[in-house]
Amino acid sequence: MSFLNKFFSRGNGKLVGIDFGSHELKAVQYGGSSRGPVLEHVYRIATPAGAIKDGVVADAQVIGEALRQLMSEGSFSARRTISAVSGPTVVVRQITMPVMNERELRDSTKYEAERFLPYSVDEAQIDSKILGKSEDGQNMDVLIVAAQRDLITSQMAALQLAGLTPAVVEVEPFSMVRAMIAPDDALFEQNVAIINVGGSSTSINVTKAGFVPFTRNVPIGGNAITKAIANGLNVSNEDAEKMKREKARILSQQDTGPVPPTVTRIFNVITPPLTELVTEIHKSLDYFRTRFRGETIQSVMLGGGSSRLENLDAFLSHELGLPVSLANPLERSTHNAADFPADFLRDAGPSMIVAAGLGKRDLGAETRSAAA
Ligand SMILES: Nc1ncnc2c1ncn2[C@@H]1O[C@H](COP(=O)(O)OP(=O)(O)OP(=O)(O)O)[C@@H](O)[C@H]1O
Ligand SMILES: [Mg+2]
């Protein structure tokens, strides 16, 4: 199957976007219309424990079953899928090379990738795309995307076990950009950091004009916060998860009113993982500013299930000195308000940042770098 070379291919026909999260499997399906994408289906279910690790499907059988459940409970009609790969082995690089044709480029890509891949090119799935000629006319800008092949084959096995047809795979940063920023948006020409705080990891990306010059994945997310509550308050993981959703709040100097003792205790125990998270985000944004001198980051969009932690947006805004907004990708398309009430979309939106962007691909809402 030529599936393995599909980072930049098109997935003709209706597709369902599937995000293989380690905490939740999520899916979004859009239909096309003259007014742009129309939201048709949104659904998520808990990922069976331990079945996805570091973005890799560890148990295809179990995930295949869960995908069947996701598709049937969510009433999805599409059977062809687009999914994303993410994690430390996913590499996105824009490089400059002498002008050459697509065929020559394919041959040279492997050698270029050898210089920056943290694993053997033989284990990698690599794809490249010519973005255009450089200003001098002698060279061209090329986008190289690579992932460890296991990541892709393991997803493919699970999808096929679920009776689905894997049509396209792309890398997660492109999905998030497509979900959140369109060429006619005011901030399209600005550097925007898109941060996806998930369960086991957080991805930190900077985008401008449809490109993603910076992407990084760090192994810290909501699980670390839950674990800190479980250990610190001596409760089970399940109870800690519930407390995190219902009682956890990041306190600040602005909290002048009385704070219940449990809220203070939770805040104290979650401070170390939160500090670690902020430090990683700081380091990433500083690296971006050093690498691309003269570029400033204007704002931050926050997605992922853990962006729902109360006050995380205000806390990050204070720490980073930047405006931070909660991502709501599902409100960025036409939808029937009777099927999708505003509070449902707002509640589910941040978690769906990857799945929504996937679902929108091939409906005309392309980012430049991820376009076919
Ligand atoms: N209301 C909430 N408040 C705080 N945390 C929440 C809330 N809802 C979900 N979370 C946390 O979000 C995390 C899951 O986020 P998400 O669904 O984005 O992860 P994932 O994509 O499955 O995981 P990963 O990307 O790390 O593989 C969990 O740690 C969960 O506890
Ligand atoms: Mg995720």
For residue 342, is pLDDT > 50?
A: yes
Indicate which ligand has the atom closest to the C-alpha of 347: 1
Closest CA to 30 of 326, 352, 367, 302: 352
C-alpha 80/C-alpha 166 separation (Å) is: 6
Looking at the CA of 350, name the nearest ligand: 1
Mean pLDDT of 353-361: 96
Q: Is the pLDDT of residue 296 over 90?
A: yes
| Ligand with minimal distance to 44 CA | 1
Is the overall model pTM greater than 0.85, yes or no?
yes
Nearest to 205 by CA among 287, 145, 150: 287
Atom of ligand 1 nearest to the CA of 197: 18
C-beta of 227 in contact with ligand 1 (< 6 A): no
Domains with residue ranges and CATH for the chain: 2-224+274-360 (3.30.420.40)
Q: Which atom of ligand 1 is nearest to the CA of 222?
A: 29
Answer whether residue 123 shows pLDDT above 60: yes
175 lines ligand 1 (CB under 6 A): no
Question: Residue range 337-341: average pLDDT?
Answer: 94
Cα–Cα nearest to 311, from 274, 341, 345: 274
Average pLDDT, the chain: 92
pLDDT at 4: 42
* Tens-place pLDDT, residues 236-271: 999 999 999 999 999 998 888 899 999 999 999 999
Q: What is the torsional sign of CA 279, 280, 284, 290? A: positive
The torsion angles phi and psi of 114, rounded to 5 degrees, stand at -55, -30
C-alpha–C-alpha distance, residues 354 and 118, integer Å: 24
Q: What's the pLDDT score for residue 94?
A: 86
Measured CA to CA, the distance from residue 288 to residue 286 in angstroms comes to 5
Distances (CA, A) of 92 to 116, 128, 171, 206, 367: 10, 10, 8, 12, 14
Cβ 177 vs Cβ 210: under 8 Å: yes
Cα 290 to ligand 2 centre (Å): 27
Of the CA atoms within 13 Å of residue 107, those in its CB half-sphere come to 4
Residue with more model confidence, 1 or 144: 144
What is the pLDDT at residue 44? 98
Measured in Å, residue 347 CA sits from the centre of ligand 2 at: 16
Q: Whose CA is nearest to atom 6 of ligand 1?
A: 306
- Ligand 1 atom nearest 47 alpha carbon: 22
Q: What is the per-residue DSSP string for 42-95?
A: EEEEEPPTTSEETTEES-HHHHHHHHHHHHHHTT----EEEEEE-STT-EEEEE
Q: Which has more pLDDT, 138 or 277?
A: 277
Residue nearest to atom 17 of ligand 1 (CA): 305
pLDDT at position 119 is 93
The best mutation among 18, 52, 351 to test binding of ligand 1, ranked by most ligand atoms within 8 Å of the C-beta, falls on 351
Confidence check: pLDDT of 1 > 60: no
Å from CA of 145 to ligand 1 middle? 26
C-alpha 215 – ligand 2 centre gap (Å)? 14
Report the pLDDT value the prediction gives residue 12, as an integer from 0 to 100: 62
* Ligand 2 midpoint to CA 20 (Å): 7
**Contacts for 340-346 with beta carbons within 8 Å, 24 or more apart?**
340/39, 340/42
Cα separation, 158 vs 49, in Å, equals 15
pLDDT over threshold 50, residue 117: yes
Whether the per-residue pLDDT at 6 is higher than 60: the answer is no
Summarised one tens digit per residue, pLDDT across range 43-88 is 999 999 999 987 899 999 999 999 999 999 999 999 999 999 998 8
Q: How far is the CA of 145 from the centre of ligand 2 (A)?
A: 19
Q: Enumerate the β-bridge partners of residue 128.
A: 144
CB 39: neighbour CB atoms within 10 A? 23
Q: Give the model confidence (pLDDT) of 124-176 as tens digits.
A: 999 888 888 888 888 998 999 999 999 999 999 999 999 999 999 999 999 99
What is the distance in A from the centroid of ligand 2 to the CA of 67? Answer: 16
CB-neighbour burial class of residue 287 (10 A; exposed 0-12, middle 13-18, buried 19+): middle
Q: Where are the beta strands (DSSP E) in 209-322?
A: 211-218, 297-303
- Given a contact cutoff of 8 angstroms between Cβ atoms, the answer to whether 202 and 354 are in contact is no
Evaluate: CB of 305 within 6 angstroms of ligand 1: yes
DSSP letter assigned to residue 51: S
6/13: higher pLDDT: 13
And the tokens for 197? 């705080």
Q: 217 in ligand 1 pocket by Cβ < 6 Å? A: no
Q: Rounded CA gap, 234 and 249, in Å?
A: 18
